[in-house]
Structure 1
């Protein structure tokens, strides 16, 4: 008799963190000096324009325009002067010089317009960076500043959370935020971990369970032993990633900065030539200066510089809001070039813990599957082994009675034994229970044959064949023996994460190649998981160095590989891959430190989503560069071979700066993530 559990016990649901209030974001926006000065400069410019149109005295609107110069131009001007001290030529200084040149020939309105648009461009970039940081930080419930520390004698004192040391014990009362990463020593409670792991429901915590700083305790009191100092908590590591992402620039941006110096020198030389050479042929000074200033404005590469960062930073912010922490704009750029994805198995595509999948009762055992499971769960209820916990959880979930066991004993590496309702129950691996027993009491449940066999199905009642079949299918098997006689087999397996098959299909469609499974697990378990997920190529029984070799082989074949893993054994391969992606909830410290990106909610579906988002960001970068280059080429040609008015040159070139900036910020919308995360069917419906 066999019972298959079609729905394994215990499902984890992950929900996105709540959205941050718009008013709060606006308050943070005005804390940026670039935004404040750009706003002040805009108000002064508008006041000057209104005064000029209203026929006010010239000194009034001239004064307002010059104040606009000061408000919007002092910061880039100061940055340019500092760059000159280091013998470099900054594009910011060129813009300020062009505006001053325009004012010197009476075009104060045009110079002020240039200052406004340039200041607005800088504010947009600062705003994108700010939103990146805020969006990622918004995923977290930051740890409290104080915690209740317990002395060895039990005395309680309130201390700063930052001074807690590894090994110390803290008391967390109901409703409080946990002050440090640690392990529960005593107490039981449900902890809200949504800010860290994205789980929508509180997680039950018992002694021995891990808890995270910043999560919210439920109704029970917990005593927690600190396992990490404040600087190394999950919260601290993620915040460090934010700082790194804000400080690092993409390769395309660095390339622009490399050519910016040479380009600026050429532009200055050309500007001087455009001013000086026409004077030799009798051109009036004002006309020659106006043409030179117009050329300096339209040829300045500010739009090219701004074309790169906003799309990448906006993509980082959007990915952060949806559970993917990308450590830098460089990584976001590299994600967009991935052509093959390799997955680890345990803890990455699976949940990393066993679940009961089937209860198999031997013929003539005289038991029902429910009765066998109830006896096994009763014997296992005091066990700390993951397999034992899975059996007990399955019995509770099925509503079966779990009675008190007596004379419980656990043998490390073997299994457990106990007396339940007068029966001697043994649970262990087939290798231990099918090779004889020291228990000599008579069997109560299975009739023995004269030849020593059990029942009519062979010397072992058919249990050996059943074990082989289940193990061949990738299951972990334990045998239940009742009064010294095998009575049944429990099949357990690590459960595949929800959405894995869909993620694999999406990646295959996105990259044009099916993902590869690289695992240290046995080939049978790996093949079973691969078949369920839709993965074709499987490499099993791999040591850490074997995984590195596998990644190098894929790279040698021309693939740009993203590796997704979670364990210490994945760290070398994560470092070797084009992009390393770690599972944030189950990932080891070493894996999190080595990886280029972290999936905070352990959802495989976010892997194709972030790759698709990165590809769209790269396309926007290319589009922005094309827009900026086109504007520059057209306006420079117009100025050199025609008569380009300065106001039109300012509006055209600096307007292109705003266009590329706003174009990049389109990725900040949640619709960008939904589009990236959509399956083929949902994208088809969207197009229709």
Structure 2
């Protein structure tokens, strides 16, 4: 079972160069430019103007100060944590160059290193900006309605159950439920949906249900954008608990959850740097065994020190991970860190929950037809009249679909509807009785069921449908059937997953096996397992994990939480507004759209490919530069220029992920 890392929630310090100063957030870049100006001034005065030595030395010292300022700060922070990394190596090299009176080359080293660092920081900001932008989505104030008064207040002062007014074409200030009005809401900031979603006011009877259990057609989220109508929204979550706030917090944490590749790179750096330091120290004494001066040995050692700097290696994986996570967030998918990102690309099997994941999560009328020559229109009106008097979930679904599909209106010819537990309903209709229910109810009431009706009944039940016979005047006059039908895009998504190499796609459901088999057949799953409790789903996932199979569990994050937690990757559907889903899942699809799955798996694979490219680039540069400097083919300036170039190259390569789209 995988362990969910909740310990280190601070931003990854390894490459956080957002230094403030006299020039604001760009101080590091300006310092690097000033360092370069002083370096070139020193070079010109020394080489072309024949000025006094102290003039060029003064310029080089100024270049040392501006180029080494932030490098020294970072090196001291790392040394305080007993970490000896790139900044430390660069400082030692610059001090060594000064010691052997190569002030110009030391100044060039610090100038190029600080410029490379600041440009790397600038490039990395392109990835972090799309994450930080999430925090700007939330409006700062809300219009609070109390009695007849409307007052503008900071969103932090809103309380649960407050009523806020949302004007047309403005951002919504809180997670809540519409209590007055209706509008088309742009939810793309939270869910990544490109098309606005129609929302209506909830009809409150008694107490409101829990936020997670309210129909999504009535729920609005902080940071989403209202359409052309005025809304009144009852606040159901405080600002700190709102979906957007939790999303920003979680996205800012993801970089701390390192992938196996990142951890391996870190381990490599930990032994690589000490080995370099020992080797360079040994090279300082090469003059004892080779015919060269002390100064030549020191210069060679410093050059090798610069060549050994793993700048590009250190940034190659984090830059790709951050870019991929930022790209996913823009599409309404939260990936919790490098491990989840890497695991996504290794999946060979995906297990889906059924209800609300592969299916719409609510019953729909599938069949309604008359038998024994009974008029179909009369039959449909009769069913509508009876079911419209019932509060049962299935009855409501039947009424809604009859009205929508056949454009019918109840004529109120039924009365005295009585529910018969586990069997159906009985009502008075046109002076007689009508029964809607199962075979047992019909038999008990003396209703004749034709062989034709029984044949239809058996066939539809095998397809996983819930079938009800309609009895009137002692004869079964027709039947209706309902079913939780597949989502429109389920079959397409399953096919796309197969196309990108997912070998086995299964369904784990608590419904009857017949229902699972019917849905599986319709949308192209490999197989379905029915009649499962949450612990049974956990057991199935465990069996795959024991065999070493990389499996994802896709569910709603509540009854599927144990299975999601034990899978290689837990993926939560429709996580917007769901605390359990956001906490449990490694990957959260903020909308209810499973068509995002092939995209994130493709994104993971692309990021792994780019990480490999970056590692080859960074390691290749080090492998070439060390012998080149060791044998005198490259000096300090060349080594630094190539290093900083390779660092920018891997960052720019990683930033390609920000534009990724599944072909």
Candidates 215, 222, 236, aligned match of 1:213: 222
Q: Indicate if the aligned counterparts of 1:379 and 1:425 stay in contact, CA closer than 8 A.
A: no
Aligned partners of 2:113 and 2:509: how far apart in 1?
Answer: 52
Residue 88 (structure 2) aligned to one of 70, 93, 107: 93
Q: Structure 1 residue 286 and structure 2 residue 280: aligned? A: no
Measured in 2, the distance between the counterparts of 1:166 and 1:359 equals 44
Aligned residue in 2 for 1:476: 466
Question: SS of the residue aligned with 1:503?
Answer: helix
Which residue of 324, 327, 338 maps to 1:318? 327
Map of 1:14 onto structure 2: none
| Match among 33, 38, 48 for residue 29 of structure 2 | 38
Distance 1:168 1:233 in 2: 14
Query: Secondary structure of the residue that 2:560 maps to in structure 1?
Result: helix
Q: Does 1:498 align with 2:521?
A: no
Give the conservation status (yes or no) of the 8 Å contact 1:574–1:580.
Answer: yes
Mapped partners of 2:92, 2:224: distance in 1: 53
Q: Deviations over 1:240-288 (max 9, x none)?
A: 2211124433332233333423322221222222113425767323312
Distance 1:223 1:479, change over 3 A: farther
Q: 1:401 aligns with which of 408, 411, 424?
A: 408
CA–CA distance in structure 2, aligned partners of residues 250 and 296 of structure 1:
29
Residues 597-642 of structure 1: CA deviation (Å, up to 9, x unaligned): 1112333232222122212212222222222222212222233345
In 2, are the aligned partners of 1:500 and 1:533 still within 8 Å (CA)? Answer: yes
- Alignment gaps of 5+ in structure 1: 1-27, 438-451, 679-688
Structure 1 residue 409: deviation in Å?
A: 5.9
- 2:195 aligns with one of 172, 197, 200: 200
Unaligned runs of 5+ in 2: 1-17, 204-217
Partners of 1:229 and 1:432 in 2: CA distance: 51
- 1:115 and 2:110 matched: yes
Listed as ranges, the matches of 1:231-310 within 5 Å are 231-278=240-287, 283-310=292-319
Conserved? CA contact 1:565–1:583, under 8 Å: yes
- 2:173 equivalent in structure 1: 179
Change (3 A) 1:328 1:86: closer
Q: Is the 8 A contact 1:139 1:321 kept in 2?
A: no
Distance 1:57 1:597, change over 3 A: farther
Q: Residues 194, 380 of structure 1: CA spacing in aligned structure 2 closer, same or farther, 3 A cutoff? A: farther
CA distance in 1, matches of 2:433, 2:137: 48
CA contact 1:517–1:539 (8 Å) conserved in 2: yes
Corresponding residue number in structure 2 for 1:508: 498
> Distance between the aligned counterparts of 2:268 and 2:368, measured in 1?
68
Q: After superposition, what is the alpha-carbon deviation per residue over 1:143-170, rounded to whole angstroms, capped at 9, x for unaligned? A: 433334455x776554433333334444
CA shift, 1:109, in A, is 5.0
Which residue of 1 is the match for residue 438 of structure 2? 430
1:441 aligns with none
Checking the alignment, whether the CA contact within 8 Å between 1:433 and 1:481 is kept in structure 2 is no
- CA-CA distance at 1:63 after TM superposition: 5.7
2:367 to 355, 358, 361: 358
Contact 1:581 1:595 in 2 (8 A): yes
Q: Distance in 2 between matches of 1:271 and 1:339?
A: 46
The whole-number CA distance in structure 1 between the counterparts of 2:160 and 2:101 is: 69
Q: Which range moves more in the overlay, 44-53 or 238-247?
A: 44-53
Answer with 228-237 or 276-285: which moved more: 276-285
CA distance 1:277–1:61, shift in 2 (3 Å): closer
Query: Compared with structure 1, are the counterparts of its residues 201 and 658 closer, same or farther at alpha carbon in structure 2 (3 Å cutoff)?
Result: closer
CA pair 39-537 structure 1, distance change in 2 beyond 3 A:
farther
Structure 1 distance, partners of 2:177, 2:61, is 62
CA distance, structure 2, for counterparts of residue 659 and residue 319 of structure 1: 22
Q: 1:654 to 1:470 in 2, by over 3 A?
A: same
How far apart, in 2, do the equivalents of 1:29 and 1:476 lie? 64
Per-residue deviation, 1:294: 0.2
Q: 2:139 aligns with which of 137, 144, 148?
A: 144
Task: Name the CA distance, whole Å, in 2 between partners of 1:141 and 1:403.
Answer: 49
SS in 1 for 2:302: helix
Structure 1 equivalent of residue 346 of structure 2: 337
1-structure distance, mates of 2:20, 2:468: 62
Of 461, 478, 503, the residue aligned with 1:488 is: 478
Q: Describe the shift of the 1:401–1:519 C-alpha distance in structure 2 as closer, same or farther (beyond 3 A).
A: closer
- 1:96-121 CA-to-partner distances (Å, cap 9, x unmatched) read 33234335545555444433443355
Q: Bigger shift: 623-632 or 541-550? A: 623-632
| CA shift in 2, pair 1:603/1:259, >3 Å | same
Could you tell me how far 1:176 is from its partner in structure 2? 4.8
For 1:593 and 1:246, locate their aligned partners in 2 and report how far apart those are by CA, in whole Å. 16
SS in 1 for 2:237: coil
Is this contact kept in 2: 1:567–1:587, CA < 8 A? no
* CA positional deviation for 1:71: 3.7
Deviation at residue 576 of structure 1 after TM alignment: 0.5
Decide whether the 8 Å contact of 1:212 with 1:233 is kept in 2: yes
> 1:315-371 CA deviation, whole Å, 9 max, x = no partner?
112222223211112211222222222211111122222333332222222233xx5
CA distance in 1, matches of 2:591, 2:385: 34
Residue 436 of structure 1: how far off its partner (Å): 4.5
Shift of 1:38: 2.6
Q: Which stretch has the larger CA shift, 37-46 or 557-566?
A: 37-46
Q: Cα distance 1:623–1:465, how it changes in 2: closer, same or farther (>3 A)?
A: same
Q: What residue number does 2:610 align with? A: 620
* Whole-angstrom distance in 2 between the partners of 1:565 and 1:272: 57
Query: Structure 2 vs 1, CA of residues 613 and 289 (structure 1 numbering), >3 Å: closer, same or farther?
Result: same
Task: Name the TM-score, length of structure 1 as normaliser.
Answer: 0.80
SS of the counterpart of 1:515? strand
Distance 1:375 1:346 in 2: 30
> Which deviates the most, 543-552 or 326-335?
326-335
Cα distance, 1:472 vs structure 2: 1.5
Alpha-carbon distance between aligned partners in 1 of 2:247 and 2:544, rounded to the nearest angstrom: 30
Query: In the superposition, relative to structure 1, how do residues 63 and 614 fare at CA in structure 2: closer, same or farther (>3 Å)?
Result: farther
Task: Say yes or no: does 1:656 pair with 2:657.
Answer: no
Separation (CA, whole Å) in 1 of partners of 2:399 and 2:63: 73
| 1:38 and 1:72 in contact (8 A); partners too | no
Work out which of the residue numbers 398, 404, 408 in structure 2 matches 1:391. Answer: 398
> Residues 211-245 of structure 1, C-alpha deviation per residue, up to 9 Å, x if partnerless?
32233344555444433332222212211221112
Which residue does 1:163 correspond to in 2? 157
C-alpha separation in 2, matches of 1:228 and 1:128: 36
| C-alpha distance in 1 between matches for 2:257 and 2:119 | 18
Provide the C-alpha distance between the structure 2 equivalents of 1:405 and 1:56, rounded to a whole number of angstroms: 104
**Partners of 1:150 and 1:433 in 2: how far apart?**
53
The secondary structure found in structure 2 opposite 1:346 is helix
Kept in 1: contact 2:123–2:652 (CA 8 A) = no
**Residues 132 and 563 of structure 1, relative CA distance in 2, 3 Å threshold:** farther
